[in-house]
Structure 1
Amino acid sequence: MIEVVRLRHVADVNPPSPRFDRLSSDAELTFLPMEAVWPGEHMDRGRVRVKSSVETGFTRFQDGDVLVPKITPTFEASRSVLVNGLINGAGAGTTELHVLRPRSECDGRYLTYVTHSHPFLKLGESQMYGVAGQQRVPDDFVRDYPLRLPPLEEQRRIADFLNAQSRRIDLLIRLRIKQNALLDSEQVACIDTELLTPGSSRARVKYLTSRITSGPRGWGELIAESGTPFVRITNIARNGIKLLLRDLLRVQAPSGAERKRTRTKIGDVLVSITADIGSVGVVDADTADGNVSQHVALLRPDPRACLPVWLAYAMHSSPVRDSLRTSSYGGTKVGLSLSDVSNMRIPVPTLRDQESAVARLDKALSDIENLRSGLEEQVRLLFERRQALITAAVTGQIDVTTTRGADM
């Protein structure tokens, strides 16, 4: 019968760090902000601090500790790590970490896998406290978590098995992500092929539009549960020209000149001018009669000169995006000015030729997006498979001495 114990009986929770304490004040150590805390090869150990700079206001840890993010959504994202190879054997990092130090009867790798298991994550999520967006897993949850504790040798066998299976699954995930990146290149190639036709006349964007403007300042403070759509950079996809609606906010827009100046209409082309420079989207029925943020340029195509989707594809082409990015890095300037956008030169075939090219591009990019969706679904299922294997192994649902990953 495998013993089940409270986690605090086999690991010290948030203990002091003797190795940290023994270092001289000018000794170097590893520094881990939350963005550096990732499982496996994604862990960023390259940040270095001297001890005196992190003696107060930071969490201390040492080689062999298991770090468990305590704040949402990082906890639910299963980003716990076993740290080894720290500079001088010690480190400091964000205060949003629980530190678990396994004792002699508990293998550190096994304990790490327990923190990645479905029961640990779901039960921890249910016990979070605090305001929305700042909820945290309490110390008591971690200390009192019921841990299945097989003999040490079996813990090591389980960890070896999960290490091997995780490597296989991670390899498949990396391959799918690489394939997804290749689709990005294919998309760019499709757009460039249609737009960079030799002999096409070219014109500056300001001569093809009736309005070029950007959003008003300070409207982020007007966000409300209801109101008019408020399109931000977050809503402009890096791939394609369809706006993303999942994080679309709304504002109680005041009437007046600013509302009228930045009001969106179907067919307006939106361009990111501060982050993800050159990302483009086209306003549709879901985002019409809204407003854009100050970090987004709004272009209103002249229907006598170009189609909205043609303008969007042209702004998305690699020569234009490269030029925009180059403009954004000049001198001390951060981001693009409206002048940078309005003076971009793009090809302008006849409206009939634009229609034909847009139809071909829509079909080609739709096929690419279908492939992308399939790859993303495969990645999601691989993550689920890895967590299912971990959960089955640490909860005793499988015997790792007789089970192969392919059997699961």
Structure 2
Amino acid sequence: MTLIAPNHIEGQTGRLLTQESAEDQGADSGKYLVKAGQVIYSKIRPQLNKATVAPSDCLCSADMYALSFRDGVDTRYAVYYILARPFHTFASVLSARVKMPKVNREELGDAPWLVPPLDEQRAIVDYLDRETCQIDTLIAEQKRLVEMLKERRQAMIDHAFAESSQRIQLRRFIEFLTSGSRGWGDYYADTGDVFVRIANLPRGSLSLGGDVQRVSLPSTVYEGQRTKLKVGDLLFSITAYVGSVAVVDQEWVDSYVSQHVALCRIDRSALDSKFTGYFMLSTEGQDQLSQGAFGGTKVQLALDDIQALRVPAPPLDKQRQIAEHLDRETSRIDILIAESERLVELSQERRTALITAAVTGQIDVRQEG
């Protein structure tokens, strides 16, 4: 029997329904028994915009509701209505009123519904099936393009290090290696020094970014001075998203790092920071980081694992040449990826707007046919 979970459902962002759940049906293992034709709806924020019609009897996870509708409601129309903005807004408000970020099952039954005659519901469904199919095709094409561009980017990085070259342990080039101080969450503030967290490390490039967290340190705190960043420092994620690597530029100088980030300062007269960073993004480099992370009982890197990394060390001018080449070429690919991802985002927004307009009567689907 198929198991349905929120991530398996495509979606965008009077009491008319009844609800059935695992508790009602005596199911175990936190799974719901769903009948063919019922609407499966994700109850967990931020996945409140995911719904589908069960194609057959199946199981779904405890993060879902199985919804049955009264006579006069086409279940396909119900799915589109759930995906529209008014219902999503209503569900989001409900999810914020309970301790856990999820929709309250009892209150969900009081959701506001606009239910036109059954023949009009079906006309709306037919119209939206046609229009969203075209949009979904465009989205799928752009997502495939993004994946192809990412593969091309990875192949380019791998090719730059494909030449046979001796690998030397990184410890030979390390001048200073540490992880951040613990307990600095107590010092979070709106103003103060920048505090680099794992979220600031990129997933596939070398530039720090993301939301900036600041810390205001008491005058008695000196221990963190060892973790102040300098230009060219290498940063490694060591407790989550293992494989994320960054090279510090001028914008992030004098920031501090969290306990989940390792700061590696290398001898830049022998090893170029960007060259080394790009190598760690190669398949060979990522494999080394993964092997170190899974070597113990938890997925994490120790400082000894970073020291043991084996990196190429050709002449410095060759290293810089490779780093500059990868900077230039990966930037071009990144622009194309960003453009495609933006097109996907705009298409998804258009999809939601179209569904909302159709189910709320803002467009007459009979004239659009």
**Could you tell me the TM-score, scaled by structure 1's length?**
0.75
Letter in 2 for 1:184: K
Q: 1:228–1:65: structure 2 CA closer, same or farther, 3 Å change rule? A: farther
Q: Which residue of 1 aligns with 2:150?
A: 184
1:232–1:293 contact (8 Å) kept in structure 2? yes
Higher relative contact order (CA 8 A, sep 6+): 2
Identity, % of aligned positions: 36
Deviates more, 1:376-385 or 1:113-122: 113-122
User: Is 1:93 matched up with 2:93?
Assistant: no
Q: Which residue of 2 aligns with 1:342?
A: 307
Q: 1:103–1:322: structure 2 CA closer, same or farther, 3 Å change rule? A: same
- Aligned equivalents of 2:252, 2:100: Cα separation in 1: 26
Letter in 2 for 1:79: K
2:332 to 367, 386, 399: 367
User: Is 1:393 matched up with 2:364?
Assistant: no
Q: 1:287–1:133: structure 2 CA closer, same or farther, 3 Å change rule? A: farther
Q: 1:252–1:142: structure 2 CA closer, same or farther, 3 Å change rule? A: farther
Q: 1:327–1:91: structure 2 CA closer, same or farther, 3 Å change rule? A: closer
Q: Which residue of 2 aligns with 1:113?
A: 80
Q: 1:169–1:208: structure 2 CA closer, same or farther, 3 Å change rule? A: same
Aligned-partner SS, 1:210: strand
Aligned-partner SS, 1:106: coil
- Aligned equivalents of 1:331, 1:71: Cα separation in 2: 33
Query: Deviation per CA, 1:163-214, whole angstroms, max 9, x where unpaired?
Result: 343333223322222221222222222222323334x554321222211222
- Aligned equivalents of 1:84, 1:219: Cα separation in 2: 50
2:265 to 292, 300, 306: 300
Q: Which residue of 2 aligns with 1:328?
A: 293
Aligned-partner SS, 2:262: strand
1:207 to 144, 169, 172: 172
Counterparts in 2 of 1:216-255, with a 5 A limit?
Answer: 216-246=181-211, 248-253=212-217
Query: Deviation per CA, 1:307-365, whole angstroms, max 9, x where unpaired?
Result: 22222112222211112212322353532221221121212222222222222111101
Q: 1:145–1:373: structure 2 CA closer, same or farther, 3 Å change rule? A: same
1:60–1:93 contact (8 Å) kept in structure 2? no
User: Is 1:170 matched up with 2:136?
Assistant: yes
Letter in 2 for 1:175: E
Aligned-partner SS, 2:311: strand
Counterparts in 2 of 1:24-173, with a 5 A limit?
Answer: 51-54=27-30, 63-69=36-42, 72-75=45-48, 78-87=49-58, 93-94=62-63, 100-122=67-89, 125=92, 129-130=96-97, 134=101, 143=110, 145-147=112-114, 149-173=115-139
2:33–2:57 contact (8 Å) kept in structure 1? no
Query: Deviation per CA, 1:236-269, whole angstroms, max 9, x where unpaired?
Result: 11121111223x3233445556402222222211
Aligned-partner SS, 1:277: coil
- Aligned equivalents of 1:389, 1:348: Cα separation in 2: 56
* Residue ranges of structure 1 left out of the alignment (5+ in a row): 1-5, 26-50
1:127–1:138 contact (8 Å) kept in structure 2? no
1:236–1:281 contact (8 Å) kept in structure 2? yes
Question: Aligned residue pairs: how many?
Answer: 355
1:269 to 230, 234, 237: 234
Q: 1:222–1:63: structure 2 CA closer, same or farther, 3 Å change rule? A: farther
RMSD: 3.3
Q: 1:364–1:164: structure 2 CA closer, same or farther, 3 Å change rule? A: same
- Aligned equivalents of 1:159, 1:187: Cα separation in 2: 41
2:83–2:355 contact (8 Å) kept in structure 1? yes
Per the TM alignment, residue 73 of structure 1 is displaced from its structure 2 partner at its CA by 3.1
2:90–2:111 contact (8 Å) kept in structure 1? no
Letter in 2 for 1:11: L
- Aligned equivalents of 1:114, 1:333: Cα separation in 2: 44
Aligned-partner SS, 1:143: coil
Query: Deviation per CA, 1:275-330, whole angstroms, max 9, x where unpaired?
Result: 33222112234433222222222111222112222221122222111122123223
- Aligned equivalents of 2:287, 2:99: Cα separation in 1: 40
- Aligned equivalents of 1:73, 1:20: Cα separation in 2: 23
Q: Which residue of 2 aligns with 1:48?
A: none
Letter in 1 for 2:277: A
- Aligned equivalents of 2:227, 2:36: Cα separation in 1: 54
- Aligned equivalents of 1:133, 1:253: Cα separation in 2: 33
* Residue ranges of structure 2 left out of the alignment (5+ in a row): 1-13
1:236–1:272 contact (8 Å) kept in structure 2? yes
- Aligned equivalents of 1:355, 1:134: Cα separation in 2: 49
Aligned-partner SS, 1:363: helix
- Aligned equivalents of 1:375, 1:91: Cα separation in 2: 33
- Aligned equivalents of 1:91, 1:202: Cα separation in 2: 49
Q: 1:330–1:125: structure 2 CA closer, same or farther, 3 Å change rule? A: closer
Letter in 2 for 1:163: D
Aligned-partner SS, 1:196: coil
